[in-house]
A and B are shown apart, each in its own frame.
Chain A
């Protein structure tokens, strides 16, 4: 069974501080992992995909298969990063996604 855990429902940091949003997963096969973001009153949108290994808006995420983690990091948080972040797990490209509970990030001025 697929499962995604985001241990922090709320995370608050100050502008310019580093931020890490945690995500752990449980899956017996080879996972595809994603981070989705939902800004206030907007729809969910893809932020990162682990296979692409790129940095979007200063965010990066590394898949650690040993620790079954896919934590999202940014060295210097900005106020506009305040949003709801969801970690999601898929079995393969184009397959159904299992979402974590989400972490509400607030970046204070």
Chain B
């Protein structure tokens, strides 16, 4: 149990376009989801915390208007990278916390975004 999926697993887009990444909890309800960014051979950096039905809380230095997060249901959160630029190319990972085991974050497999 406690599986988190992400779609797409990889995406290539042109500079200036927007890309939406989905994060789903498949077999549990996720009250909180987190979005991370990971550069090659570097650690995960938290971008934002998303609670169902409320606005996301962004970490310092993360542009809210650039990285739009929506957590409309207990099983789905989306991250939209707006007007993407090559420097947005990265690995984006989501995680979710369920209602039963509140301390454990279950991670998705990640989405590789390449902006050309």
Contacts and interface: CB of A to CB of B under 8 A. Distances in A.
Question: Size range of the interface on A?
Answer: 10 to 19
Contact of A98 (B46, B102, B107): B46
A8 to B, nearest CB: 13
Determine chain B's interface SS by DSSP, over half rule: strand
A97 B43 contact: no
Interface residues of B, number: 20
Contacts of B102: 93-94
A86 B43 contact: yes
A77 to B, nearest CB: 22
A42 to B, nearest CB: 8
A99 B44 CA distance: 6
Contacts of A100: 43
A45 B110 CA distance: 13
Given A99-B43, A99-B44, A94 B107 contact: no
Given A43-B4, A96-B34, 5 more contacts: A43-B108, A96-B46, A97-B46, A99-B45, A102-B43
Interface of B: 4, 32, 34, 42-46, 49, 93, 95, 97, 102-105, 107-110
